[in-house]
Amino acid sequence: MHSLAIANGAGGLAATGIDSKVMRHSAYDSPPGSVEQYAAPDSATAAFQNVPHNASRVLELSLPAAQHGLGAIDLAIVAAYLCGITWFGLRFRGQPRSLRNYFLADKSIGWWAIALSIVAAETSTLTIISIPGLAYQTDLAFLQLVFGYLLARIIICAIFIPQYFRGEMFTAYELIERRFGPRLRSITAGLFLLTRAAAEGVRVFAISIVIGIALGQGEIASIAIITAMTLLYTFEGGLAAVIWTDVVQLCIYLAGTLVALGMLLHLIPGGWAGMHAIAAEKFRVFDFSLSMAAPYTLWAGIIGGTFLTMASHGTDQLMVQRLLAAKSERDSKKALLASGVAILFQFTLFLIVGIALFAYYRLPAESFGKADRIFPTYIVNALPHGLAGLLVAAVLAAAMSNLSAALNSLSTSSMVDFYLRWRPLADDGSRMRLSRGLTVIWAVVLFGLALLSRRGGRVLEVGLSIASVAYGAMLGVFLLGILTKRANARGALVGMSCGLVLNLFLWLAPEAARQVTGFAVAWTWYVTLGTIVTFSVGYLASFVAAKHD
């Protein structure tokens, strides 16, 4: 009964994934027959049937506090965090005097801060609440994807970053114009603006999931407050404020997660050994299956994860902007490689928290309504007052770091890739005023998309996965420009169109794709397939176009 009440108060989340990287084909929201083995139904059922005590009583005992939500001390901690981080970000308000300062922090920030900012920017509220839910239902197989994230960083350092430091660039799409001309730059930048805004709108909405569980009300107000406070320091301080607040917010949400794990191990009889005894099967990492229907195999992880991160960190302005803000090419590479070490630690931590939650509750995820609600439910209902407020602040920290990164990158691309090409002679004062105005406009747009996401269902699925759907085509075009000399703009556009159509087909019509290919294709392969098609078709089309010219 308590779990149903919490589910209803969470804002009606109908479908989520693991951030932009885990789309609707996640292990716990997949079409029948595609990835059932990753849900481990037999082992999970056996665990629930052989619990040595009354598991439902465990959940019941942990939930009475939910009747009161967060206490006064918790709310005070959350308020102190929101005011404190906004004040800290506003300390950078006097610095931006030019676009170079506003969008690139004058290339004055150390590589280690950029590395932490990269990690914070790719972590949202959905990451923190969904990754533990995934481990609760499955195991550590998601780490295989992280291995691909690490390999991709090495490749980006070898072939992408040197290109970005040939002259001063503000956006990734300036590289496309240099190679293929202004038309393709406009298309790639426009695609970024469209898909990034849709994805970030859903991530902003995810704030209401935590607030709904904590308070049972105030979802819209919470979204508005977080958006306004994040906008304030992003508007005033530019990328410098974004990066340094990212560093603080990363420390807060990692510290909060470590505290949550420590409390879980304290509550589980036997601590770490007890958790391992209860959930030993969940510590499995490697799966050598050759099935393309399984999202978390070693091959899908290394190959799919590599292509996915090459796209997200090598072509997406959200990440590339941080690489461009480094003092030098060498510092940019150091920042990206260091972020890989941090991201491995972070995902391992989130997954271990999920396993610990399983050992603590020993209940089917359905008892909570959705797997995404398990960690927030634990935070609000099992932690003592004070710690609960700290953990809610930690989740909000992840939300704000991701939102500030999105606002700054969307504003940068709008300004540099579009306005300045129309008005290249605009003075610095006009440029700064418009840059800040664009930041406000994008904040309003993301807030509106977050409200639209409250409808749930397909809106959420689209928002969560649309950024990744475009990645294959984007990466293919960038590789055509960097790795080949024969590719031309016409061929690259044809290839990009084909890659995008393929990814849309796989995403929107998975059953039809299965009938065409004879087998199901997991989401982890989408970017790989889209890139291969874009690159191959683009190269051949360029060859044909050159012959006809």
Q: How confident is the model at residue 463 (pLDDT cuts 50, 70, 90)?
A: low
Percentage of the chain exceeding pLDDT 90: 55
Q: Quote helix, strand, coil % in the chain, to nearest 5.
A: 75, 0, 20
pLDDT confidence of residue 184: 95
pLDDT confidence of residue 549: 61
Is residue 506 within 8 Å of 295, Cβ to Cβ?
Answer: no
243-265 confidence digits (pLDDT tens):
999 999 999 999 999 999 999 99
357-409 confidence digits (pLDDT tens):
999 999 988 888 888 889 988 988 888 888 888 888 888 888 889 899 999 99
144-163 confidence digits (pLDDT tens):
999 999 999 999 999 999 99
Percentage of the chain exceeding pLDDT 70: 84
Domains and CATH numbers, the chain: 2-455 (1.20.1730.10)
Query: Between residues 309 and 425, which one has the greater pLDDT?
Result: 309
Give mean pLDDT, residues 81-99: 86
Contact partners, residue 377, CB within 8 Å, separation at least 6: 3, 6, 63, 66, 213, 368
Q: How far is CA 396 from CA 142, 275, 420, in A?
A: 24, 28, 34
pLDDT exceeds cutoff 60 at 60: no
Q: How confident is the model at residue 456 (pLDDT cuts 50, 70, 90)?
A: low
Give mean pLDDT, residues 518-522: 86
pLDDT confidence of residue 17: 36
For the chain, the C-alpha Rg in angstroms (whole number) is 23
A 10 A CB-CB count for 84 gives: 13
pLDDT exceeds cutoff 50 at 35: no
pLDDT exceeds cutoff 80 at 429: yes
Spatial separation of the C-alpha atoms in residues 206 and 257, rounded to whole Å: 18
Is residue 467 within 8 Å of 195, Cβ to Cβ?
Answer: yes
The phi and psi torsions of 466 (rounded to 5 degrees) equal -65, -35
Query: Between residues 24 and 74, which one has the greater pLDDT?
Result: 74
pLDDT confidence of residue 455: 67
pLDDT exceeds cutoff 90 at 27: no
Q: How confident is the model at residue 134 (pLDDT cuts 50, 70, 90)?
A: very high
112-132 confidence digits (pLDDT tens):
999 999 999 988 887 888 899
Strand partners, 326: 109
pLDDT exceeds cutoff 60 at 431: yes
pLDDT exceeds cutoff 60 at 29: no
Report the mean per-residue pLDDT for the chain.
83
pLDDT exceeds cutoff 50 at 319: yes
Angle, CA of 429, 433 and 439, to the nearest 5°: 150
pLDDT confidence of residue 34: 28
